[in-house]
Amino acid sequence: MPRSVLEAIKLGLWEFEPTEVAEDEFDATGAMPGTKDKLEVLADRVQDGLPLWHSEDREDLDDPLPRIRLPR
C-alpha cells in the first residue's frame, strides 16, 4: 500500500485516496503563500503522505503565525 499520492502515481494507482490525518498530527506553517518556503512545506507533506493544507497555515501577511507544537 502506498504511503503518499506520489508513490501511488508511480504504481499506477490512480484511484488512491490517502488516509485521513488529524491536524494535531502535523504542524501548520507560517510560510507565506507562493514562497519557496511554503512550496517546500507542501512538497514535504505530499512526500510524507500528509494533507496539503492545515487550517492554521498562514494565508496572508496579516495572518498571525501559527502555534507550532514543540517536541517533547
Residue 11 located in a structural domain: no
Residue 2 located in a structural domain: no
Residue 14 located in a structural domain: no
Name the residue range of residue 32's domain: 22-72
Grid cell locating 6: 506520489
Residue 3 located in a structural domain: no
Look-up: residue for cell 512545506? Answer: 41
Query: Any residues with CB less than 8 A from the CB of 69 and at least 6 apart, and which?
Result: 24, 27
Residue 42 located in a structural domain: yes
How many separate domains does the chain show?
1
Per residue in 8-66, pLDDT tens? Answer: 889 999 888 878 899 999 999 999 999 999 999 999 998 888 988 999 999 888 877 77
Tell me the backbone φ, ψ of residue 23, rounded to 5 degrees. -65, -25
Residue 39 located in a structural domain: yes
Query: Any residues with CB less than 8 A from the CB of 63 and at least 6 apart, and which?
Result: none
Confidence at residue 69, expressed as pLDDT on a 0 to 100 scale: 62
